[in-house]
Amino acid sequence: MNRYTTLKQLGDGTYGSVMMGRSNESGELVAIKRMKRKFYSWEECMNLREVKSLKKLNHANVVKLKEVIRENDHLYFVFEYMKENLYQLMKDRKKLFPESVIRNISFQILQGLSFIHKHGFFHRDMKPENLLCMGPELVKIADFGLAREIRSKPPYTDYVSTRWYRAPEVLLRSSTYSSPIDLWAVGCIMAELYTLRPLFPGNSEVDEIFKICQVLGTVKKTDWPEGHQLATAMNFRFPQCVPTHLKTLIPNASNEAITLMKDLLHWDPKKRPTAAQALRYPYFQVGQVLGPRPQSQEVKKVQNRPLAQKQASEYKVELQQSSSESKASTTSSRNHQQPLQQIPLPQAESKPGGLSHAKALGSENNAGGVGTGALKSGRRRWGQTVAKTSDSWEESDRSETSASNSKKPSLVNTEEEKSPKDQCPQHQEQKPLYSFSTVTKLPNNVKTGQMDSNLPGSAVIASLVTNK
């Protein structure tokens, strides 16, 4: 880690802390994630989900993991630096995004997800905090600590993802969910981009299902039989609600956007489009140039600032050296005048390849030629090294020989079966997108297992029966 200088702390969480750093060699800004848990072997580090998934993912909309370093039993992930996350971008807005901006952000999210799913992984924790940005022009998916392989065998843990973006099948404790849970989260994020407020801000799992029913309406048994089986298994009865049309909640969305969000927010995961199918919806077929720009001005500024400072300092040194040499030459040979010499300009340094698009912590996009070397006892690296040694990650796992590229600073659980905190603390201050007079908790005088027909409105709250 002596090749990086830490500048400031960006965040701190249960499993690690994130710092902004700068490479001493290139001046490139990076995000360094230091895990709080200690790791006593290199194999233990390379088997982490975050590392295993990011080694295989190389995409413009997936955050880039540049290096993995184990030093004195501490594990460090070095990521591309990203300016902010999508939640921060929305929080700082004074007015709503234009639909063209929302379309481009949604397109990039779906492009990244399509690539991730195509390569056999699903994210399991899609939310605005895990989408890193350099302004609205460039968005990358980050934080793969909860990622799983699609081909891996169920059961999976039922406690994944932040509650407001959690799919119904996960809320109902399904153990066989898969990549459609990521598409549900995209539908929630897309609605939030239009309104700058969460669509389903439930304060518990039961309340989350109630919020979903208030918008989508009560799901019929014929529409999602598996969901009713899951509800029966946990003695839960769906609340009886009339659907609210998305257009009334999101009036600034076009009809094409409403169509896409409705399909992404299907109760039945089998009816949701895949990421690749969603990209072919009419919403994206409008002649607009979509995707990350080749290199935005914001990225160029971040990249060129340290290099320009370095070149300026070298130029001053060369000027001083040339001046001193000229004085010495004049003193030693006054009678032999030399022709004027042009002061040599500093050579343009080759820019490091890691900053094509500034990114942030939590994922991986490694360019070709990536290898691992043993630097000295107690220190191991995986990432951008010139020469391979006998300690390369290819030897420890010969079945995985591809590298990955792309992401932001954020904290995610990288341990095997742990999941993030249920609440999203950053969103606690936000007001819900809509409000209803219907209560979500039963009064004390109502017995469990019974329905109260006197409740107001068209919604009859179902009780959650517990086995005594």
CATH topology classification for 4-82+353-396? Phosphorylase Kinase; domain 1 (3.30.200)
Q: Do domains 4-82+353-396 and 84-284 have the same CATH topology?
A: no
Question: Are 22 and 4 spatial neighbours (Cβ–Cβ below 8 Å)?
Answer: yes
Domain map of the chain by residue range? Answer: 4-82+353-396, 84-284
pLDDT, one tens digit for every residue, the chain (468 residues) = 888 999 998 887 777 888 999 999 999 999 998 988 888 888 888 878 677 777 778 899 998 888 888 899 898 989 899 999 999 999 989 899 999 999 999 999 999 999 999 988 888 889 999 999 999 999 999 887 666 656 555 554 544 457 899 999 999 988 888 899 999 999 999 999 999 999 999 999 999 999 999 999 999 999 999 999 999 999 999 999 999 999 999 999 999 999 999 999 999 999 999 999 999 999 999 988 998 876 544 445 555 555 555 555 555 555 555 555 554 444 444 444 444 444 444 444 444 444 334 344 443 333 333 344 444 445 666 665 443 433 434 444 444 433 334 444 444 444 444 444 444 445 555 555 655 544 445 555 545 455 545 444 444 344 444 444
Per residue, what are the HEC states of the chain?
Answer: CCCEEEEEEEEECCCEEEEEEEECCCCCEEEEEEECCCCCCHHHHHCCHHHHHHCCCECCCECCEEEEEEECCEEEEEEECCCEEHHHHHHCCCCCCCHHHHHHHHHHHHHHHHHHHHCCEECCCCCHHHEEECCCCCEEECCCCCCEECCCCCCCCCCCCCHHHCCHHHHCCCCCCCCHHHHHHHHHHHHHHHHCCCCCCCCCHHHHHHHHHHHHCCCCCCCCHHHHHHHHHCCECCCECCCCCHHHHCCCCCHHHHHHHHHHCCCCHHHCCCHHHHCCCHHHCCCCCCCCCCCCHHHHHHHHHHHHHHHHHHHHHHHHHHHHHHHHHHHHCCCCCCCCCCCCCCCCCCCCHHHCCCCCCCCCECCCCCEEEEEECCEEEEECCCCCCCCCHHHHCCCCCCCCECCCCCCCCCCCCCCCCCCCHHHCCCCCCCCCCCCCCCCCCCCCCCCCCCCCCCCECCCECCCC
Q: What is the pTM of this model?
A: 0.65
**In the Cβ-directed half-sphere of 429, how many Cα atoms lie within 13 Å?**
4
Q: Which residues are annotated as a binding site for ATP?
A: 33
CB atoms within 10 A of CB 414: 24
Q: Give CA–CA dist 370/386, Å, rounded.
A: 8
**What distance in Å separates the CA atoms of residue 342 and residue 313, rounded to the nearest whole number?**
19
Closest CA to 211 of 200, 198, 195, 227: 200
CATH class of 84-284: mainly alpha
Catalytic residues: 125
